[in-house]
Amino acid sequence: MKNSYRFFENRDCAYFPCHQGTGDFNCLFCFCPLYLRENCPGNPVYINKDGKRIKDCTYCTFPHDPDHYDRIMQVLSE
């Protein structure tokens, strides 16, 4: 896939890929803009540590799937 405003892949990143199991890997949302959303469309796991609820996105690849760009923009505009 060609780099554009909807897709960017950085194979030179020391952490590439930061998640396994995707084809074309979109690095555009390296830090997920949905992280602070309680009900994001991804598949986070919530863990409790020291009495705090923490969102763990270790196995979530939602923002890295190029087909999810429009859905992410929709959620951010809500």
* pLDDT surpassing 80 at residue 57: yes
Distance CA 49, CA 11 (A): 33
Residue 48 confidence (pLDDT): 95
Residue 39 confidence (pLDDT): 84
- Residue 50: partners with Cβ closer than 8 Å, 6 or more residues away: none
Residue 16 confidence (pLDDT): 85
Residue 47 confidence (pLDDT): 95
> How far, rounded to the nearest angstrom, does the alpha carbon of residue 37 sit from its chain's CA centroid?
12
* pLDDT surpassing 90 at residue 19: no
Report pTM.
0.79
Rounded mean pLDDT of 28-43?
90
